[in-house]
């Protein structure tokens, strides 16, 4: 027994023709179709060695203190600043936050 297979390509073409007719008739798409707005999150900035160092200097702390703030080892921060390694996306996201408001981070260190 042979089952009827859907012809997806034909369905897509038919739906596109219907949407075209709707647009041509001047009917707002919202009246006929469900529209969704998709939001996305920007990727974190790319940080080279100089950018990591500059970010740390904005806060005014040593590599070990900066490492503690980020939850990584001082050796990792040093390797970033020497250009031996690149920060992972989650670390770059944190670096973005620090650059956006370094005084907040300075206050956190001074309060400790």
CATH number of the domain residue 64 falls in: 1.10.260
C-alpha 47/C-alpha 53 separation (Å) is 9
Specify if 4 maps to a domain.
Answer: no
Task: Kindly state whether residue 59 falls inside one of the protein's structural domains.
Answer: yes
Task: Tell me which residue of 90, 86, 100 sits closest to 70, measured CA to CA.
Answer: 90
In a domain, 55, yes or no: yes
Half-sphere exposure of 60 (CA within 13 A, CB side): 10
Number of domains in the chain: 1
Q: What is the mean pLDDT of residues 31-60?
A: 93
In a domain, 86, yes or no: yes
Average pLDDT estimate for 40-51: 95
Decide if 93 is inside a domain. yes
Whether residue 67 lies inside any domain: the answer is yes
- The pLDDT of residue 35: 81
Per-residue model confidence (pLDDT) at position 33: 85
pLDDT in tens, 54-101: 999 999 999 999 999 999 999 999 999 999 999 999 999 999 999 999
Tell me which residue range forms the domain holding 81.
Answer: 49-111
Q: Is residue 31 part of a domain?
A: no
Mean pLDDT of 38-59: 95
């Amino acid at each position: 027994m042979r089952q009827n297979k859907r012809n997806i390509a034909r369905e897509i073409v038919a739906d596109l023709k219907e949407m075209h007719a709707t647009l041509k008739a001047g009917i707002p798409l919202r009246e006929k179709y469900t529209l969704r707005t998709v939001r996305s999150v920007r990727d974190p900035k790319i940080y080279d060695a100089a950018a990591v160092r500059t970010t740390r200097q904005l806060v005014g702390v040593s590599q070990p203190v900066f490492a503690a703030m980020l939850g990584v080892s001082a050796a990792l921060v040093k390797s970033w600043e020497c250009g031996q390694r690149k920060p992972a996306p989650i670390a770059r996201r944190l670096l973005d936050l620090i650059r956006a408001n370094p005084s907040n981070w300075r206050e956190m260190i001074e309060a400790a």
